[in-house]
Amino acid sequence: MKHREFPENPFLMTFSKIVMIDAVVAIATVALAIWKEDLMWYTIFAGVVIAIAVFVVLNKRCLRQLSCPKCNRHVAFEAGSEGFVCKNCNTVWEMG
């Protein structure tokens, strides 16, 4: 799962895709709120709820199913104080 912007950290690539999907939801929400002015606050509230739900669900599903680039195994990752830790080879992958 290498990417030219994040060649050594697949977590940042996945996280950036999740944020891009969330941005599309936010833009669609604002466009719908401008288009339907009488329902503006309901639309914005629903868009915020959907954006948060998309972010949380995709974060949990995508980041847990990545394979470790070092040991090339599809393993579970656990959140540590420094980032994500591969349970197989104990490699720490930073999120920042």
What does the pLDDT look like over 81-95, one tens digit per residue?
666 777 777 777 765
Cα torsion for 36, 41, 46, 51, to the nearest 10°?
Answer: 100
pTM: predicted TM-score of the whole model, two decimal places:
0.53
What are the mean pLDDT values of the chain's consecutive 10-residue runs (96 residues total)?
A: 54 76 84 81 82 78 67 63 71 66
